């Protein structure tokens, strides 16, 4: 379920604009993706490796007349894309994927003939994709707007943006219905308590094997990505024997119905879909968003260029265009995610965008967010996830 459902929904998004938006956001951090990416990279490491030297590094010459973008569905304001075409010339073709493994598989299987230029992998995939020659080293001379980016949101494994630049980032917390839960909830501990009391049988959690133990680990000050069996067993015990019986739904995109239709009163959510859900609600004032505390996660998608991009000049021009503060602001308004630029928050406030506290966080808050990294504990987490689901359906 963890990957499949979002993919199917994404496939339908063009048919249902708005209703299903923002879903893609949370794929990225799924541990799923991490392992799958690793595997595919490993599989292609010999024989299937595209040769990075095949395409000349862009030098700032004339732009090609086309640009092919391979990204998460509905991830950029269409007005921005047409603005780029009218300003600079290249016609844009957009194709979408539903998970990082899909992106990696497409790039490796094509052996350099995929034809994609700009790609949008999640940050935790960057080191392996770069090491396996799937990404082009960026020519930063052609990206002057990089200066507008906040270095705080540089890719951790690529701090100098050799391969990737933040496109959007998000975090995890929860939303609750203040007409049902009349006290103030502040932490994952409060979440656990409310789930067992006021929200029992009306609790929604993320449909993701990494996020579920996350609730327990973040509440108890345990490193999210731990592989310590003692910690995992404790998380399992809590999830299967305590939380499961209070859970009514495993939902990765509560913006779809769980929040606007009030089918749950306590909802674990990623900030983007939580914001969209509240905005879609007929009674937005009753919902309150809480950033996970004392710790929670951070996930990030990045701009990158395929090593075999047929239109490298246009790729750089496009990324540079998207890094312009006005472009970033347009995308913040469109997707509801922080684009990692410096001063974007101020622009958004000036613009009067709603629910900005769900998009922008203080440096202190950001400091409490833990990035997802490649982990060896996936099998164990899937095991816990399945046990919890079995317990919840009983």
Per-residue binding string, other proteins, 212-251, x by CB under 8 A, is --------------------------------x--xxxxx
Per-residue binding string, other proteins, 253-272, x by CB under 8 A, is ---xx--xxxxx--------
Per-residue binding string, other proteins, 194-213, x by CB under 8 A, is ----------x----x----
Site stretch for other proteins (CB under 8 A), options 7-15, 140-148, 268-276, 344-352: 7-15
Question: Does 337 sit near other proteins (CB under 8 A)?
Answer: no
CA distance 258 to 241: 24
Question: Does 8 sit near other proteins (CB under 8 A)?
Answer: yes
Secondary structure E strands in 102-179: 118-119, 165-177
Q: How far is the CB of 384 from other proteins (least distance, A)?
A: 10
Question: Does 353 sit near other proteins (CB under 8 A)?
Answer: no
Question: Does 389 sit near other proteins (CB under 8 A)?
Answer: yes
Give the footprint of other proteins on residues 117-146 (CB under 8 A). none
Instruction: Give exposure, 345-357, as e/b (b: 16+ Cβ within 10 Å).
Output: beebeeeebeebe
What are the distances in angstroms from CA 220 to CA 178, 213, 294, 324, 352? 25, 11, 9, 41, 37
CA distance 105 to 36: 9
Q: Which residues, 6 or more positions from 190, have their beta carbon under 8 angstroms from its beta carbon? A: 184, 290
Among positions 23, 31, 67, 130, the unique one binding other proteins when judged by CB under 8 A = 31
Neighbours of 6 (CB within 10 A): 25
Calculate the CA 223 to chain-centre distance.
Answer: 20
Among positions 17, 56, 230, 282, the unique one binding other proteins when judged by CB under 8 A = 282
Question: Does 15 sit near other proteins (CB under 8 A)?
Answer: yes
Closest CA to 107 of 156, 37, 164: 37
CA distance 19 to 5: 15
Question: Does 91 sit near other proteins (CB under 8 A)?
Answer: no
Rg from Cα positions in the chain:
21
Q: How far is the CB of 164 from other proteins (least distance, A)?
A: 21
Closest CA to 339 of 350, 323, 320, 321: 323
Question: Does 11 sit near other proteins (CB under 8 A)?
Answer: yes
- By CB under 8 A, how many residues form the interface with other proteins? 54
Q: How far is the CB of 263 from other proteins (least distance, A)?
A: 5
CA distance 372 to 224: 8
Per-residue binding string, other proteins, 369-388, x by CB under 8 A, is -----x-x-xx-xxx-xxx-
CA distance 27 to 2: 8
Which is nearer to other proteins, 13 or 167 (by Cβ)? 13
Among positions 23, 28, 29, 36, the unique one binding other proteins when judged by CB under 8 A = 36
Q: Which residues bind other proteins (CB under 8 A)?
A: 1-5, 8-9, 11-12, 15-16, 19, 30-32, 35-36, 38-39, 41-42, 204, 209, 244, 247-251, 256-257, 260-264, 282-283, 374, 376, 378-379, 381-383, 385-387, 389-394
């Amino acid at each position: 379920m963890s990957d499949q459902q979002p993919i199917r929904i994404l496939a339908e998004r063009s048919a249902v604009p708005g209703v299903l938006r923002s879903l893609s956001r949370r794929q990225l951090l799924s541990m799923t993706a991490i392992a799958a990416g690793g595997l595919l990279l490993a599989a292609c490491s010999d024989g299937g490796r595209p040769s990075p030297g095949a395409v000349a590094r862009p030098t700032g010459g004339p732009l090609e007349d086309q640009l092919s973008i391979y990204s998460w569905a509905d991830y950029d304001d269409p007005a921005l894309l047409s603005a780029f075409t009218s300003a600079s010339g290249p016609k844009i073709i957009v194709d979408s994927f539903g998970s990082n493994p899909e992106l990696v598989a497409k790039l490796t299987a094509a052996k350099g003939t995929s034809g994609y230029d700009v790609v949008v992998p999640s940050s935790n995939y960057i080191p392996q994709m770069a090491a396996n020659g799937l990404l082009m080293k960026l020519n930063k001379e052609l990206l002057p707007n990089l200066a507008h980016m906040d270095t705080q949101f540089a890719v951790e494994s690529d701090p100098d943006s050799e391969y990737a630049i933040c496109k959007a980032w998000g975090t995890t917390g929860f939303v609750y219905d203040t007409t049902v839960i009349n006290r103030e909830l502040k932490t994952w501990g409060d979440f656990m308590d409310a789930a067992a009391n006021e929200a029992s049988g009306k609790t929604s959690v993320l449909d993701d094997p990494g996020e579920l133990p996350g609730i327990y680990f973040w509440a108890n000050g345990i490193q999210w990505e731990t592989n310590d069996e003692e910690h995992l067993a404790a998380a399992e015990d809590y999830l299967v024997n305590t939380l499961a019986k209070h859970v009514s739904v495993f939902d990765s995109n509560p913006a779809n119905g769980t929040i606007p239709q009030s089918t749950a009163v306590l909802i674990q959510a990623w900030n983007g879909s939580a914001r969209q859900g509240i905005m879609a609600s007929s009674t937005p004032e009753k919902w309150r968003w809480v950033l996970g505390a004392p710790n929670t996660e951070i996930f990030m998608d990045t701009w990158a260029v395929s090593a075999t991009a047929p239109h490298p000049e246009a790729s750089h021009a496009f990324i540079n265009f998207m890094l312009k503060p006005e472009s970033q602001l347009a995308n913040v308004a469109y997707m509801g995610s922080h684009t990692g630029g410096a001063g974007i928050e101020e622009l958004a406030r000036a613009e009067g965008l709603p629910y900005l506290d769900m998009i922008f966080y203080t440096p202190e808050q950001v400091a409490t967010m833990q990035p997802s990294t490649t982990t060896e504990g996936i099998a164990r987490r899937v095991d816990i996830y399945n046990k919890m689901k079995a317990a919840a359906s009983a």
